[in-house]
């Protein structure tokens, strides 16, 4: 059944970068304690956690309509900081529906997206900053990394039924790590 415009409640949404909320939707927070095992330096992770269970990022998302061809929107705000020399980052995931692609639009701040193809295992580091757009193809694990000194805010747009698979990443993590060396981000192989 094709619905008319009047039946859609979300033809317009406001982005609130202060609250991290999209269209007034709730904000889900991810703290340092939620990313146990994700950072390369376990000792650095433990000592950061003992000092402060810092807020790493928040996500606020909405599904204006469900069904084939519909889209889901997510606002992410990733805070600046490091665990040892590794920049704050999101958990990262593959989409449950592997062919589902995603578009990221940078709204504020500077950072990168680390992409890793599930089949070829190729990695790519792509800039994500205010005014930049990153296309994440299907079958590609993606993680956002803040290399700046202010929050990195971005909008992700993806098929409504893409789903999130965190399992594979939680088990073996990404093959590369982004660390600071002499003030600059450097991509290294995970040891
Ligand atoms: C949705 C998407 C983003 C992330 C957000 C948080 O498919 O890619 O909205 O969900 O950047 O990262 P994760 O989900 O990896 O904790
Ligand atoms: Mn995604």
The 3-state DSSP class for residue 127 equals: strand
Q: How far apart are CA 130 and CA 17, in angstroms?
A: 13
* Ligand 1, CB cutoff 6 Å, lining residues: 59, 74, 76, 90-93, 102, 142, 144, 156, 158, 164
Confidence at residue 169, expressed as pLDDT on a 0 to 100 scale: 87
What is the distance in A from the centroid of ligand 2 to the CA of 116?
12
Among 156, 162, 167, say which to mutate for ligand 1: greatest number of ligand atoms within 8 Å of CB: 156
167 CB-contact burial (10 Å; exposed 0-12 / middle 13-18 / buried 19+): exposed
Residues bordering ligand 2, an ion, CB closer than 5 Å: 102
Confidence at residue 1, expressed as pLDDT on a 0 to 100 scale: 63
List, for residues 54-99, the tens digit of each pLDDT value. Answer: 999 999 999 999 999 999 999 999 999 999 999 999 999 999 999 9
Closest ligand to residue 94's CA: 2
**Residue spans of the chain under pLDDT 50:** none
Confidence at residue 137, expressed as pLDDT on a 0 to 100 scale: 98
Q: Which domains does the chain have, with CATH numbers?
A: 8-189 (2.60.120.10)
Q: In this structure, what token pair is assigned to residue 103? A: 């578009």
Residues 6+ apart with CB under 8 A from 20: 27, 58, 59, 60, 75, 77, 153
Phi, psi of 189 (to 5 degrees): -70, 140
């Amino acid at each position: 059944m094709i619905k008319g415009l009047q039946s859609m409640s979300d033809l317009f949404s406001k982005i609130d970068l202060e609250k991290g909320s999209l269209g007034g939707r709730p904000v889900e927070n991810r703290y340092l304690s939620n990313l146990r095992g994700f950072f390369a330096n376990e000792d650095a992770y433990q000592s950061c956690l003992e000092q402060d269970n810092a807020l790493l990022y928040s996500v606020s998302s909405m599904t204006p309509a469900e069904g084939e061809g519909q889209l889901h929107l997510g606002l992410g705000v990733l805070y600046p900081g490091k665990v040892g020399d590794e920049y704050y980052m999101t958990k990262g995931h593959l989409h449950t529906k592997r062919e589902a692609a995603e578009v990221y639009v940078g709204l504020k701040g500077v950072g990168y997206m680390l992409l890793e193809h599930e089949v070829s295992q190729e990695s790519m580091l792509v800039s994500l900053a205010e005014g930049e757009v990153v296309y994440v193809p299907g079958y590609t694990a993606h993680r956002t990394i803040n290399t700046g000194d202010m929050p990195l805010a971005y909008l992700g747009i993806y098929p409504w039924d893409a789903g999130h698979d965190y399992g594979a990443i939680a088990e073996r993590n990404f093959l590369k790590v982004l660390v600071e060396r002499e003030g600059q981000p450097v991509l290294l192989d995970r040891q």
